Amino acid sequence: MIGETTAYQLLNGSEREKWNGLVKACETYDVFFLADYLDLYEQRGEGRARLFVYQENGERYVLYPYLLRNISERIDGRAYFDIATPYGYGGPLYSKQNLQENEGFVSRFRKTFSRYCQSEGIVSEFIRFHPYMDNDDGLRAHMQVTPISEIVYNDLLLSKEDIWANTTSSKKRRIKKSKKNEVEVLFIDGKDITPADVTTFYNIYTETMDKKHASLFYYFPLSFFQSYFQSLAPYVTLAFAMHSGQVISANLMLRSGGFATIHLSASLKEHLSLCPNCNLRYESILWAKENGCRILDHGGGKEKGDSLFAYKQQFSKSLRHYKIGKKVHLESVYQTLSAQLSGGIEWEQAAFFPEYRMRTE
């Protein structure tokens, strides 16, 4: 408690109903801020799901969900921690969008949070900001904010005709070829996804990661997907490209708060000549529009300007900056850990902050 009208509290996954209620009461939100989403990554062993709530009155509050991670090294017998937002988008979520432009409110929130981190032994903080909420606004005075890439999206307020016009000629030809090849697209709502559907997606996704020689960070066990589709049933959709009764390409899509995201995608290499991926992605854009979304997020590439980014950009020229945030709360402890500790967890490249978690070969 801070003063009579300002308070902060900390929620964990066992307080799911209260956590999700606060998120859904905000003017805008996305599935990435819900307890259900963070709990999946807690189950995966990436940290303990926490929601920091800073509130000045009933309508003026900010929510900050993150994973609290143990640091294996102790200093003078004391345990320390760091925090990070999980894979996807995160950062602060404001009850009213204009609060993130209120310098005084943001400053009070961050000062309160920094004091909390210092008192609890939280050494550092890493944020993957939500690119469509601009929730890095106002934070440059309080942490290092860095644009690291661009991501592609469709403005779904455009007409279907304009969406088609913004698709490149080469992709239009492939979409038409796919339909001529009798590739059909099927959308399965979360509540209707069967265990067999989950296994099908897992098998195609794992084969795709093998094909791309992906790092361990991008692999998920079948149990993760089973929990994923169960926990996020109200927000998840499976999109399958089908040929002769077989699933040959798949998109795992998330939808909430006016946002739709192609979160994961995969395809079978031996069927690429049928052009299922282009057909599936284009139909996913139209599906999101028809379901009332304002934005369809394609994400970016693994590296700036790579072939994956170029592929996605052929469905839209609309781009947003993807930004990360870094903050050291306990500088002397951070330096000590960086000198002594090399982490044993392989994270995506952007997460090689904090320095002491970088994997050394």
Domain identity same for 127 and 15: yes
Asked if residue 1 is part of any domain, the answer here is no
Domain identity same for 100 and 172: no
Element (H, E) at 134: none
Which CATH number covers residue 276?
3.40.630.30
Domain identity same for 74 and 169: no
C-alpha separations of 173 from 176, 178, 183, 285 in Å: 5, 9, 14, 17
Q: What is the pTM of this model?
A: 0.91
Domain identity same for 137 and 155: no
Domain identity same for 201 and 341: no
Domain identity same for 138 and 204: no
Asked if residue 2 is part of any domain, the answer here is no
pLDDT tens-digit readout, 282-311: 999 999 999 999 999 999 987 777 899 999
Element (H, E) at 259: strand 259-267
Domain identity same for 183 and 124: no
pLDDT tens-digit readout, 69-124: 999 999 999 999 999 999 999 999 999 999 999 999 999 999 999 999 999 999 99
Which ranges in the chain belong to alpha helices (H)?
Answer: 16-24, 35-43, 103-120, 160-165, 169-180, 195-212, 222-231, 276-290, 307-313, 331-340
Mean pLDDT estimate for the chain? 92
Domain identity same for 130 and 155: no
Its domain, for residue 345, covers 7-142+330-357
Domain identity same for 134 and 58: yes
Q: How many helices (H) and strands (E) does the chain have?
A: 10, 13
